[in-house]
Homo-oligomer: A and B are copies of this chain.
Amino acid sequence: MSDASELLAANAAYYRAFAGGDFAAMSRIWAEDGVSCVHPGWPALIGRGAILESYRGILHGMNRVRIAHRDDTAIVMGDDGRVLCVEIVEGAALAATNCYRRVDGAWRMVHHQASPIAAAAEEPETPPPGRRLN
């Protein structure tokens, strides 16, 4: 696979872990160092401990979050990768940025931020193919 394909696959794995409530997978996805996360409406979380604690709460909450992603665009510069996509969370559209670093050949997440898009959006029945930039 190309760098961009691998990055898009890593991004899909993030949303699979999220949608499936798979905390073990989520902790493997996040890198060890230099990590930050901004959940919608939250202040920034910095450091793996605070971030994983937030995901534990979200993934193990009473109500599983319905989340999907679409319009993934990958930007790769060496071992630094970024995916911009639209998250559909409980029917609402969010603009999400997922930053990755390639560590020992695997793309690990180093930053996540999702913020509400003002315009309403409908979840498509089949997601369009991801775009790739390089």
Contact = CB atoms under 8 A, between A and B. Distances in A.
A118 B73 contact: no
A9 B126 CA distance: 45
A80 to B, nearest CB: 5
A115 B38 contact: yes
Interface residues of A, number: 34
Main secondary structure on A side of the interface with B: strand
B34 A97 contact: no
A40 interface: yes
Nearest to A73: B46
Nearest to A38: B95
A88 interface: no
A101 interface: yes
23 contacts: A34-B77, A34-B82, A36-B84, A38-B84, A38-B113, A38-B115, A40-B115, A41-B117, A42-B95, A43-B86, A43-B95, A43-B119, A44-B84, A44-B86, A46-B73, A46-B84, A77-B110, A80-B80, A95-B113, A97-B111, A97-B113, A113-B113, A113-B115
